[in-house]
Structures are given as structure tokens and as C-alpha cells.
Amino acid sequence: MNRVIYIFFALLALSACDSPQNPSVSTPPNIILVMTDDQGYGDLGIHGNPFIRTPVLDSLAKKSTRIDPFYVSPVCAPTRSSLMTGRYHLRTGVYDTYNGGAMMATEAVTVAEVLAHNGYHTAMVGKWHLGDTYPLRPMDQGFQYYLAHKGGGIGQPGDDFENFIRGDSSYFDPYLWENGKQVRREGYCSDIFTDQAIQYIREHKLEKPSEPFFLYLSYNAPHTPLQLPEKYDHEYKEMEYGPADFEVSGDRVSKMNSRDMEAARKVYGMVSNIDDNLGRLLNALEELDIEENTLVVFMTDNGPQQRRYTAGLNQGKGSVMEGGIRVPCMFYWKGVLQENRVISNPSTHIDMMPTLLEFAGIPYEGDMDGISLYPALTGENETLEERPLFFVWARGYPQRYSNMAVRKGKYKLVGQTKHGEADDLLKLFDLEDDPYELKDVSMEYPEVKTGLLKELDHWYEEIIVSPHLLEPPRIVIGSEHENPVTLGRNDWKGPKAMQWSSDEAFGYYDIAVVDPGPYDVKMIFRDHLPAAGEARIRTGTRQYWITISDTTLQEINLENVVLDPGDHSFEGWYQVRSAVYSPICIEIEKRVK
């Protein structure tokens, strides 16, 4: 966080001390925000799925005030950036899940930063997916403690090399990062993250019982790879279902093949494991006698990646149709929020930050696109003002009307067109009468479509020139905050970077050098070198190469590399004649002078 923002927070904290807190908040509550990964709306028993076992979540839903419909972005990192900042993800520099698009600008103010500067202790456990290097890590964005994996998933090319090479077992005994240091934990990932969350709560209660905490528990399951403990795999081994098994199914169930069925079994097992872990977490709150002063929020980050039951919602992850963006959302605070109540005003992830800050009694005047749902959740004001909510996602930067949508009131305008196609191909849905988006009512309500199209056009033209898109976040090299710096494939950029699991893929990194070095650069490859050749790195106008004849190597070191201060691109590769082979990751370590 830069100095200007720090001064802003210092003044904010002082003003907060002099300003009356929210009169409804006599004691700021502990806040636990739980999010799962790729768990769709239909992956809960309470939403009509008779096969999945989720008794804890079903019970929590009945004890909670729920928001339904509640929306997120179509994919992981965009949802997370909006959740953390209260802003549409493109404003924060995040536009994709990889290829350099999952790096949230350090200037983006997070809910953790505001809470930490106003008396909260902050912790993050699980999946971050908003940048793995300084100044983008959880510890740089307001979290005073964190335990997380790298990249978008454990074992993906952007994660630690040690996890990546164990593709069939990466969810077990994973390498993780704790406050900037690599550690290894034994067990299954969701169990590990729950253990750490409970340990954090216990230690905080013991050491600072009067200090409220904010815990962001972000499970990476049930995202692929679909790995799970044998107990849960066995539980769904014999499961078979089809459209007739559900009161509401949609066509996603009828089109399931044997591979889809096997994936559904594993996803359901992973969700049941999370459900059991949430049971342990809630029991810990009760045992520690803090349940009545703790707000628990549960949600998921997008719709299902694989084809399975969606409670009838159309399409899935990646889509701006309801199946991709509508998710469960529960607010539970024992004795404070009404049980088994549903708020039907459309709301979204950009509302989470302002809502949590109002629950904490913290006044905040920073830029946010969302609104506080506190009045609706507490019953102070049952009706939220009607407003447009926007959704978009593409591989790379968004294209007008391609996987874009806007909802306002009961109407939703959806664009899934190609460049050059007429805007009259956009479809209008009345979600009160047609929640499954089966009937285009554009001809019946042309004035509604025209109005929503204007709002979508205006938003698109504004959002596409966001400062952090025009000047994207960069990985800082040479700072005192991180040495060495590991460049992973999640932050690679370029068309061939999208082939991120291939040795023949290629990409570059946007870096900001603050010290010329010298540096030692290590390139780490998945396999032994294919033949004698040259190892090369290039940044700015400097290029270095060495010849290699030892083909038993998996690591190549280039020593005493000078990097010019300033903003540059950085590339590293191994070349055999005209063939190029890319490392899985590159370590850049500044030499101690």
C-alpha cells in the first residue's frame, strides 16, 4: 500500500474515533466470510438437490437471512477482486483468471485494509488468486495473517512447482505460503484450511479477546482437479441420476454423459467434505462462546464448471446467464439477524465490502460501486433502491455485447454475440416470470430493452478505460519486501501464455524494477532439457544467454544479471535451434551487496 493511501487511512481512523459509530453496532462483531470455489446454486440440498449431502449448509441457510438472487462474476478472480474492494473487477486491474489478468492493483483499497486500520485483526486462509508477488499478496493488501496457495488452484501451472508436478495428488499435503514463507501442511486441502481457521480463532480469542477479527476463509474446492478423500469419494460412488429425479432440472441434467456423472460424484463429495468442515468451524464458535458476537457469511464464487444439476438455472461457470453468476448467499448472526428470511432484492458481490463495513460500524467514504445491504439485512429498510447491476467476462479484455449482461429490477439484458453482429440480437428476460431465461421478451418490451442497452453501453465505455486496465499492475523486482521473487505462469501474458500447461507455451511478465541488482536468475523446468541449446532472458533492451550442454538439468542459473530500473517486460526461455521451451517458473534473487 503506498504512502498516500496510508495517510488516508490514518486520517480515516482518527475521524472514525471522533465520529459516532453505527448506533445499531454497540460492539463490532467478529466477521467470518466463507467462500467456496465453483460450487453452483444447485450444489445444495436446500436448493432442491436430493443427492448432495449438505446438512450444515442447509441448516445454516434456515438459520440465516439469505439474499436470493445474489450475483457474482462468471469466474474466480473477478469475483474475488469485487468481493475485496466493492468495485467492479475491471476497475481493479483484474480481467481474467490467468494470462496476467488476475493481478489486483495494490492501489485498490480492500475491506481488509479498512478493517485493519479500524481496530480489527485480519486473516485470510485458502485461495487468494489476486497476485502472488509483492505488492499484490494478501499481506500487502490488508491481511495481517494469511495461509494460501499460489495461482488460481493447487497444482495448476501458476501454483508452486512442487504442487504442479504432483498433478494427481496436489490437494493432499500441499505446499502453501504462510505470511510470505513457503510451508508444507499434511492432509487434505479443505481440512487444512479449516484447521488453520479454527486455530486462528482459538489463538486470537486467547491472546486478544477484546479485539474483533475478520477471517476470510476461501476454499479452493470443489474446483478442479477433482481430488477428494476416499471417504467422500466412496459416499457418491454409486450415485446415478437424471432429469426425472429433480423437481426442476433444466437441460444441463438431461445432457449429462458418463464423464459428467463421474465429475458430479466427485464434486458432491468435495462439497460434503466442506460441509463437514463448516460444521467443525461453527462448533468451534459455540465452544469458544463467541457465536453471538460473530457474523458468518457464506457464498460461492461462480456457477458450476461441469454439467450437473443447477436448480434449472441456464448455463454455468463463465457465462453471464443465471447459471454462471447466481449463487447462494447467507448472513448468520445468532440473535441479531432474523432466521429463515429471504431478501429478494437483486444484490451482488460489490455490495459485500460496504455491507461488512457497516456491520462493523466503520464509516468509509472511499470509491465503491456497491451499496450496503445492512438496512435490508437488519430490517431497517426492506426495500433496496432499484439499480443496474453489470456482468461481463472474456478471455482477455471484454468485447462489447460478448458475454455481457445488465440486470435492473426484474429485467435482464444479455449479450452473447460476436463482433459486428447487430445489437438487436441481445435478449431480454423477465426473471420474475422466467427465472430460467427461456423466453426472450424483447419484442414485448422494446422500451425496456432500449433503456437497458443504453445503460450497458455507458457502463462498458466507462469501465474499459479504467486506469488499472490502461496501466496494469506490475510485479515489483528488487524491493526489500520480497527476495527472491518467483514469476509463475498465472501472471504470464501473451497469446501463447494461454497454453500454460505446455512446455512449448510462451509468455512475458510486466515487471517494475526498483533496484538494478545484480540478480541471479533461475529457470525451473518440468522435465530435463530436451537437447543442448541456449538459456535466454530478455528485459528492456538487455538480453543474456548462456550455452547449455548438460541435458540432465531441470534448473538453469544465470548469474550477475543487471536489470535497468523502471517498467519493462521480462521473458525467459530455453532454445534448441528454432524450438523454444519455457520454464514452469522463474526465480529472480537480488544478490546481497
CATH of segment(s) 475-590: 2.60.120.260
Collapsed DSSP state (helix, strand, coil) of residue 520:
strand
Collapsed DSSP state (helix, strand, coil) of residue 132:
coil
Is 23's pLDDT higher than 70? no
Average pLDDT over residues 449-465: 97
Residue 13: pLDDT band by 50, 70, 90 thresholds? very low
pLDDT for 288-301, tens place per residue? Answer: 999 999 999 999 99
> Taking the domains of the chain in order of start, what are their residue ranges?
3-378, 389-469, 475-590
The H or E element spanning position 276 is helix 258-287
* pLDDT the model gives residue 20: 33
Whether the domain at 3-378 and the domain at 475-590 fall into the same CATH topology: no
Is 542's pLDDT higher than 90? yes
Torsions phi, psi for 365 (to 5 deg): -115, 15
Alpha helices in 308-434 (DSSP H): 322-325, 352-359, 374-378
Q: Which of 115-129, 234-248, 558-572 has the lowest mean pLDDT?
A: 234-248
Is 335's pLDDT higher than 90? yes
Query: What is the average pLDDT score of the chain?
Result: 94
Pairwise CA distance, residues 245 & 308, whole Å = 12
Pairwise CA distance, residues 142 & 1, whole Å = 8
- Using CA atoms, how far residue 276 sits from 43, 192, 280, 287, 290, in Å, is 15, 13, 7, 17, 20
pLDDT for 272-281, tens place per residue? Answer: 999 999 999 9
Q: In DSSP terms, which residues pair with 537 in a beta bridge?
A: 544, 572
Percent of the chain having pLDDT more than 70? 95
The H or E element spanning position 470 is helix 467-470
* Spatial contact of 572 and 528, defined as CB atoms under 8 Å apart: no
* Spatial contact of 414 and 320, defined as CB atoms under 8 Å apart: yes
Q: In DSSP terms, which residues pair with 184 in a beta bridge?
A: 175
* pLDDT the model gives residue 58: 98
Among all chains, which residue has been given the C-alpha cell 499478496?
A: 137
Fold that domain 3-378 belongs to in CATH: Alkaline Phosphatase, subunit A (3.40.720)
pLDDT for 172-206, tens place per residue? Answer: 999 999 999 999 999 999 999 999 999 999 999 99
* pLDDT the model gives residue 243: 85
* pLDDT the model gives residue 421: 87
Residue 528: how many CB atoms within 10 A of its CB? 10
Is 384's pLDDT higher than 90? no
- Using CA atoms, how far residue 170 sits from 181, 187, 246, in Å, is 19, 11, 34
Is 10's pLDDT higher than 50? no
* pLDDT the model gives residue 4: 43
Pairwise CA distance, residues 243 & 255, whole Å = 9
> For residue 259, what is its C-alpha cell?
464423464
CATH of segment(s) 389-469: 3.30.1120.10
Residue 24: pLDDT band by 50, 70, 90 thresholds? low
Integer-rounded Cα radius of gyration of the chain: 24
Pairwise CA distance, residues 509 & 17, whole Å = 43
* pLDDT the model gives residue 15: 40
Residue 382: pLDDT band by 50, 70, 90 thresholds? confident
Question: 395-411: buried (b, 16+ CB within 10 Å) or exposed (e) per residue?
Answer: eeebbebbbbbbbbeeb
* pLDDT the model gives residue 503: 79
Pairwise CA distance, residues 53 & 37, whole Å = 17
pLDDT for 26-44, tens place per residue? Answer: 789 999 999 999 999 999 9
Amino acid at 466: S
Pairwise CA distance, residues 283 & 561, whole Å = 54
3-class secondary structure per residue, 282-336? HHHHHHCCCHHHEEEEEEECCCCCCCCCCCCCCCCCCCCCHHHHEECEEEECCCC
Query: DSSP secondary structure string, 51-90?
Result: SS--HHHHHHHHHSEEESSEE--SSHHHHHHHHHHSS-GG
Average pLDDT over residues 128-150: 98
Among all chains, which residue has been given the C-alpha cell 489476486?
A: 130
Residue 73: pLDDT band by 50, 70, 90 thresholds? very high
